[in-house]
Structure 1
Amino acid sequence: MTRLERFLAQSRGEYRRMSLGLHRMRELLEKTGRPDKAFACVLIAGTNGKGSTARMVESVLRRAGYRTGLYTSPHLVRFSERIRIGGREVSMDRLEEILADWEHAGLADAEGGIPAGEGERLTWFEQATLLAFEAFRSEGVEFAVLEVGLGGRLDATNAAEPLASAIVSIGLDHTEVLGATLSEIAREKAGILRPWRPLVLGAMPETVREELRRLALEAGAFPILAGEPEGEPRDFSYADFTKLSIPLEGRHQLANAAVAIELLWALAVRGWPWSETELREGLAAVSHPGRLERVEGAPPVLLDGAHNPQALEALVRYIQEKFPGRPVSVVLAMAKEKDPRAALGILGALKPRWYFTVFPNERSLPLERWRELAAAEGLTGEFFEKPEAALDRARAETPPEGLVVATGSLFLVGGLREALGLDSGIA
């Protein structure tokens, strides 16, 4: 087993073993010579939309000629999807070399873990983040766009010092870790702001945005409230820009684009300029697999990793707008810590046929629980041990003019993308 294979194997059970905090990350950044100081960066947090926003910002900066790094999570199929340099996934060989360097320097123990402090080790996500920072440094990245993993205040990415930060949205997710109210979650995400630096705030309940604006001012940051673009994703206007286009589905992507443009403006006045042409070309080149991703066929398949109420509501609105009146089948799997009852209620607006399944991860909600929930809600459905079998049955039983939707988890979507042969060339 290679060092990288050993590291990847340690991801099993990571969510259950999660331990938030910055002290371990800061200690290892010092021991490795502060790789995070080798590049400028922005931090992007949010319940939903932070991945799309990060991709937009990176794409424009890359078009502007900067050597960019992009760090996102989770991955759909390969770990290397999380770490991109100049728009391309980092090579697995390069990651193996970094792990070997740490081992030879005495940073890693015999099991491949990285000790930190009194009897602690870096968590798996912290080690992944450290890998990204070292890959960016070794590959000469000038500017890195960092998507926060969970929350903000205690997330490993927050050990870096951003030129600007953004909170794209606030919704109820990871409540067992971040808090049970929007206000509590907002305060956790506000931990990514920095004094004397911009903090862009996206579309969210006005009371929450006002609270974040106040927190930013109290901390000496400069809050920027993103506006509302006009138009559709393929043709929209924002501020002084008209006829902009993003090849991402769903009107919610307009709000993400507004945050990206405000972030880019904040960077331009801080020494990272770009032109209007580069903005247009960068936005037009963005991709984000597994988010309202359509697979043509009869019926077509829509793959979407929505896994919290806010994202599921956006999915339902999109289907009602783009596929009105069509029969819908839903292939559904979710993680145990999510709210499956809420998902059933939201997706129930589509009056779908149900195909319940599980994904190969200990976090998956088991089929027995789906059977209990379906019975309690008076739903009839079919149950499958393998997602591919659920999708095959849904496609076979849905009329050609209908729609099959696979949703509830990025774990589900990643596996189905691979099964459908969509994995190659993820950009």
Structure 2
Amino acid sequence: APPTFFEATTAIAFELFRRAGVQVAVLEVGLGGRLDSTNIVEPIAAAIATIDFDHEQYLGHTLAAIAAEKAGVIRRDIPVVVGPVPEEAREVLASMCELAGAQFVEADAGASVKSTTEDGRTIVHVTTPVRDYGSVTLGLRGDHQIPNALVAVRLLEEIGRVLPVTADAIIAGIRDVRWAGRLQLVGLPNGRRVLFDAAHNPAGAWALASYLKREFPEPLPIVFGAMRDKDVALMLKTLLPAASTMVMTEAATPRAHRASDLATIARKLAPDASIEVEPNPKRALASAWKKCPLVCVAGSIFLVGDLLGSLGPSARDL
């Protein structure tokens, strides 16, 4: 069979790394781990930040099965840093590390993280068995990024055994990191703002809904689009209470749910909710802006990418 799009782009990335003389690269698995195209490399360390239900048709229908697929990144004699995962997944990962001769490192073992929130940003005080990092404002929004930051810190500490990674570099990493489309707040010169968040599975929808309820007591308009292979009903059930109006739309991909079908699902879940249908994403955003100068766009990486790219050079991260 010919290579898939992801396999081809992974190969292109490796060639670009070679030409640029990249000495250290961070690779994110595309799907699972065991059969993913990134798994051709021999890493010096690995991390599994979390395990939840997504892509079940490929990875399995239990957390243990999904963990077994994710465990494909484990290699002999490397540290594998694991975030807060369900116990059934943890048992699988610990067992696979033991079988492979890898070091199983639980990110929160011997560590503590105290957090506060200020102006939508999370401030953490991180202490690990290696050192006390003091207070750091995380570059990424949302409480769900707290355990992710701890995984990153512990991973860099482990890598520091073979590569020079300073405490200042670790602090700069979690402070300065940017991730487009993940609770990314963007402002325009006319005062309009958009909160972009992929939230393309139930866990992502839950994280977004939690952030919206905490930071914006008054519900916001949400422009929503999703792929047909996602658990849309559960995503909508989670997000509808956080939305003043939900405008259903369609990303420019054959995989996208029809906006009218999304509206049908939403109306069954919440008959009294304000639901609109606008298949064109730009017009959907314009419609939402008529209701509030701050709009959330969520449900699909494709949708977020389409609309983020449409805002033009005057858009600025806030």
On whether the aligned pair clears a TM of 0.5, the verdict is yes
Cα 1:355–1:163, aligned 2, differ >3 Å: closer, same or farther? same
Is the Cα–Cα contact under 8 Å of residues 164 and 199 in structure 1 kept in the other structure?
yes
Q: What's 1:222 paired with?
A: 103
Shift of 1:263: 1.1
Equivalent of residue 268 in structure 1, options 146, 149, 160: 160
Deviation digits for residues 218-249 of structure 1 (CA, Å, limit 9, x no counterpart): 22111000115221433432322212232211
Question: Relative contact order (C-alpha < 8 Å, sep 6+): which is higher?
Answer: 1
The letter for the 2-side match of 1:370 is L
Deviation digits for residues 70-99 of structure 1 (CA, Å, limit 9, x no counterpart): xxxxxxxxxxxxxxxxxxxxxxxxxxxxxx
The letter for the 2-side match of 1:278 is A
Q: Distance in 2 between matches of 1:292 and 1:365?
A: 22
Is the Cα–Cα contact under 8 Å of residues 245 and 280 in structure 1 kept in the other structure?
no
Q: What's 1:141 paired with?
A: 22
Q: Distance in 1 between matches of 2:81 and 2:174?
A: 18
Is the Cα–Cα contact under 8 Å of residues 201 and 223 in structure 1 kept in the other structure?
yes
Is the Cα–Cα contact under 8 Å of residues 151 and 189 in structure 1 kept in the other structure?
yes
Deviation digits for residues 35-91 of structure 1 (CA, Å, limit 9, x no counterpart): xxxxxxxxxxxxxxxxxxxxxxxxxxxxxxxxxxxxxxxxxxxxxxxxxxxxxxxxx
Q: Distance in 2 between matches of 1:236 and 1:319?
A: 23
- Secondary structure of the equivalent of 2:253? coil
Asked if 1:124 is matched to 2:5, the reply is yes
Deviation digits for residues 315-360 of structure 1 (CA, Å, limit 9, x no counterpart): 1111111112x13211100011111111110012325311000011
- Secondary structure of the equivalent of 1:143? coil
Q: What's 2:119 paired with?
A: none
The letter for the 2-side match of 1:237 is V
Q: What's 2:45 paired with?
A: 164
Q: Which runs of 5+ in 2 are unaligned?
A: 117-121
**What does residue range 35-46 of structure 1 map to in structure 2 within 5 Å?**
none
Q: What's 2:227 paired with?
A: 335
**What does residue range 316-395 of structure 1 map to in structure 2 within 5 Å?**
316-324=209-217, 326-377=218-269, 378=271, 379-395=273-289
Higher mean C-alpha deviation, range 146-155 or range 292-301:
292-301
User: Could you state the TM-score of these two structures normalised by the residue count of structure 2?
Assistant: 0.89
Shift of 1:296: 3.6
Q: Distance in 2 between matches of 1:282 and 1:167?
A: 18
Equivalent of residue 211 in structure 1, options 88, 92, 102: 92
Q: Distance in 2 between matches of 1:135 and 1:217?
A: 35
Q: Distance in 1 between matches of 2:171 and 2:264?
A: 49
CA RMSD of aligned residues (A): 2.0
Q: Distance in 2 between matches of 1:187 and 1:359?
A: 32
Q: What's 2:298 paired with?
A: 407
Q: What's 2:290 paired with?
A: 396
Q: Following superposition, which runs of at least 4 residues in structure 1 exceed 4 angstroms of deviation?
A: 422-426
Shift of 1:372: 2.8
Deviation digits for residues 376-406 of structure 1 (CA, Å, limit 9, x no counterpart): 33244111121111111111023x5xx4211
Q: Which runs of 5+ in 1 are unaligned?
A: 1-119
The letter for the 2-side match of 1:311 is G
The letter for the 2-side match of 1:195 is R
The letter for the 2-side match of 1:180 is H
Q: Distance in 2 between matches of 1:409 and 1:221?
A: 35
